Structure 1
Amino acid sequence: MGLSTYLTPSGFLLPSIHSAPPFFVQQPNPATQAVVTEQWTRLVLSYARHRRLFFLRLDDAAAPTGEWAEVLHNERINRAPLPPHLALVLAHMVAKGLAAYEPPRQSRTVLLHWRLPEEWAEVLHDWAVGTGQLNTILTFFEIAEPEVESPLVGIPAPLLRAAIAVLARTGRAQAISIPDGEGVRFFSGRATK
């Protein structure tokens, strides 16, 4: 079987490197492994964005089914990365700020930053302005589970906190403790450089 792209059932186009058996194995040459790690990083982030997935677990590498199966497994060549290889990729992503261990102080699950917290901050502020939510206190639930479809649907609380922190530093939001948990108030201020 030659290297070729492949369209998954979810409509994601896997790159041709996904057809190469060495892609799924940790490489002994550090330079080669660095290239493979970068390829996996791009693949994981683009797939997560495509499917709106926020978390990746080491256990997903061993699961033949599930939301990550079509990217972590290649049934056409009978390959999947072993958990130590995936752990190496996840550690690289965390080191580059493209993911964060969640919960902290463990290394089996990451929160993926297919949009960086700074990018989520802009999406969040644009949503608040566009929906007329300025100077209104909103709960995290109201943001992540809005009545009307939004790009923020399903955003995990740690990522939402990070985005709000970015907005708070620029005077466009204020984190607020409320009886039901956490909330935020948005302001119209523009980002300062």
Structure 2
Amino acid sequence: MALSTHTTPSGFNLPSIHSFPPFFTEQPNPTTQTTVTNQWIRLITTYARHRKLFILRIEDAETPGSEWDEILRNERINRRLLPTHLSNIISAMSAKNLVEYEPPKQTRSVLVYWRLPEEWAEVLHDWAVKTGQLNSILTFYDITDPQIESALTNIPVPLLRRAIAILGKTGRSQIIAIPGGEGVRFLARSK
């Protein structure tokens, strides 16, 4: 089979390397493995952005039909990424601050940063400005599950907290205690 791009059922365009069988196995040559790992990192982050996926688990490499199946398997060449290989890729992503283990203190599940927390902070503040939410107190649920879908829909709370903390350092947000938990107030940019 010649190397070729392929469009998945979700509309994601897989790069031609995805049809190269050695792409799915760890390479003995460290330089080659670094190249393969970097290609996997790019593939994982672009696919996560395409599908708005935030959580990647080692089990996704073992589970047919997972949200990640379109990239972790290639049935056309009878290949799949093994959990140990995925674990090593995730470790490399962690070293580059492109994922964070979530929950902390384990190594089987990560929060994928297809946008860095600093970028999410800007998306969050821009959303608050555009939707007229400045100086209003919102629950995290108001942000992650808005009445009108937004770029923040389904953002995991740990990532939302990081973005709020980044805005807090620049005086553009503050955490507010509310009955039943916490809320956030967004403030105008300081001049």
Q: Which deviates the most, 106-115 or 175-184?
A: 175-184
**Post-superposition shift, 1:28?**
1.1
Match of 1:77 in 2: 77
Q: Which amino acid aligns with 2:129?
A: V
The one-character-per-residue Cα deviations of 1:4-54 (angstroms, maximum 9, x if unpaired) are: 100000000000000011100011111111101100000000000000000
Match of 1:12 in 2: 12
Match of 1:137 in 2: 137
**Post-superposition shift, 1:66?**
1.9
**2:97 matches 1:97:** yes
Distance (Å, rounded) in 2 between the aligned partners of 1:64 and 1:20? 20
Distance (Å, rounded) in 1 between the aligned partners of 2:42 and 2:181? 35
Distance (Å, rounded) in 2 between the aligned partners of 1:30 and 1:175? 46
Match of 1:181 in 2: 181
**Post-superposition shift, 1:179?**
2.4
Identical positions, percent: 64
Q: Which amino acid aligns with 2:109?
A: T
Report the number of matched residues. Answer: 191
Secondary structure at 1:85 match in 2:
helix
Distance (Å, rounded) in 1 between the aligned partners of 2:178 and 2:27? 50
Structure 2: tracts of 5 or more residues without a match: none
Structure 1: tracts of 5 or more residues without a match: none
Listed as ranges, the matches of 1:82-161 within 5 Å are 82-161=82-161
Match of 1:32 in 2: 32
Q: Which amino acid aligns with 1:17?
A: I
Match of 1:169 in 2: 169
Q: Which amino acid aligns with 1:130?
A: K
Match of 1:53 in 2: 53
The one-character-per-residue Cα deviations of 1:119-145 (angstroms, maximum 9, x if unpaired) are: 000000000001111111100000000
The one-character-per-residue Cα deviations of 1:78-127 (angstroms, maximum 9, x if unpaired) are: 11111110000001111111110000000000000001000000000000
Match of 1:23 in 2: 23
Q: Which amino acid aligns with 2:48?
A: A
Q: Which amino acid aligns with 2:103?
A: P
**Post-superposition shift, 1:190?**
4.2
Secondary structure at 2:64 match in 1:
coil
| RMSD, aligned α-carbons | 1.0
Q: What TM-score does the superposition give when structure 2 sets the normalisation length?
A: 0.97
Distance (Å, rounded) in 2 between the aligned partners of 1:75 and 1:180? 48
